[in-house]
Amino acid sequence: MKQIGTDCTFGRAEQRAPQGLSTGSTKSVLITGAYGQLGHELTRLGQGHELLAVDRDALDITDYDAVTACLDQFKPDAVINAAAYTAVDRAESDLEVAFSVNRDGPDNLARACGHANIPLIHVSTDYVFDGLKQGAYVESDPVAPLGVYGASKLAGEQAVLKQCPKSIILRTSWVFSAHGQNFVKTMLRLGTEREELGIVADQHGCPTSAAELARAIYAVLDKDLNDNHRGVYHFCQPEPTTWFAFANAVFDSAREQGIDLSVNTVNAIATTDYPTPAERPANSVMDCNKFEQSFGFTVRPWRDSLDEVIRELSDVRGEA
């Protein structure tokens, strides 16, 4: 296993030796945003690679010198950028920080990866679209973000494609897991606190588990990447739904797994009934055929992943 020199401090960095099985050769991989939902799953799954997983305290991706120093010492075969400013509503009044993390950070990583001639896998969002299209978005559809978050993520995409010849961008949507803050965990909390809830029913998208997204990213790394792979891909789990239907699926799965809930009425409401600082796309369903065909990855239904996450959360509750 490669060792990080004692003169380089990475704070809460987690270094992991190869584990499990990989369908490809073992690679050394730098993961940013290690303690977010996706970063946690990337680190947990490992897929037989040697990992250096860092959070923002360990590596400030908005500092180009820090990024280059990290790459110089670890010398990764690839970088996965799971770091992001994801507070959609707060971004409307925190524009400078949102763009610093979501545009300047990826720009720094892409420049460093370009100079090192290594791939950068960068995670983006469905919020680059305005949601006006009827049907699923494909990668070539025009982008038109509605708010600061989407605009900052789009700027990050553009920087990555410009700076790194071996860049791969994965747009994803509605990410959930047993780790961190997300819709599934919020619904479980509210479902135990309240008897009645109103959930938005006119926004359409595809829930995606962080674990499934992590598996997809490792499937990319297992490929012998070349210039033909460069570009933007969509990755989300099949079966478009609404937040209202997703909430009901959460409650159904929780009850099936023995979690006691107080909620007995879930009302479908309109977006206009639940105003937020940031406007959300009414439709952010994405077509993932390009990814599946390019990397030979069969995407599982989100309902299967939801059951797994609920089961994990139920086990944690049982241990408490």
Cβ–Cβ < 8 Å for 185, 252? no
- Catalytic residue flag (residue 149): yes
Among residues 149, 218, 233, 274, the one annotated as catalytic is 149
Task: Tell me how far apart the 2 most distant CA atoms of the chain are, in Å.
Answer: 58
- Give the span between the Cα atoms of 137 and 273, in whole angstroms: 26
CA 150 to chain centre: 14
> Measured between alpha carbons, how far is 159 from 156 in angstroms, rounded to an integer?
5
Angle 39-49-208 (CA atoms, 0-180°, nearest 5)? 35
Tell the residue number behind the tokens 């595809």, with chain if given: 206
Residues 242 and 178: beta-carbon distance below 8 Å:
no
Describe the strand order of the beta sheet including 78-81 as a list of residue ranges. 14-16, 50-54, 28-32, 78-81, 120-125, 167-172, 231-234
Cα within 13 Å of Cα(245), Cβ side: 12
* Cα 132 to Cα 285: distance, rounded to the nearest angstrom: 11
Pull the structure tokens for residue 240.
């478009």
Assign residue 231 a region (left: φ > 0; alpha: ψ between -120 and 50; beta: otherwise): left
Category of 75 on φ-ψ map: left (φ > 0), alpha (ψ -120 to 50) or beta: left
User: What is the distance of C-alpha 207 from the center of its chain?
Assistant: 11
Measured CA to CA, the distance from residue 267 to residue 286 in angstroms comes to: 26
Active site residues: 149
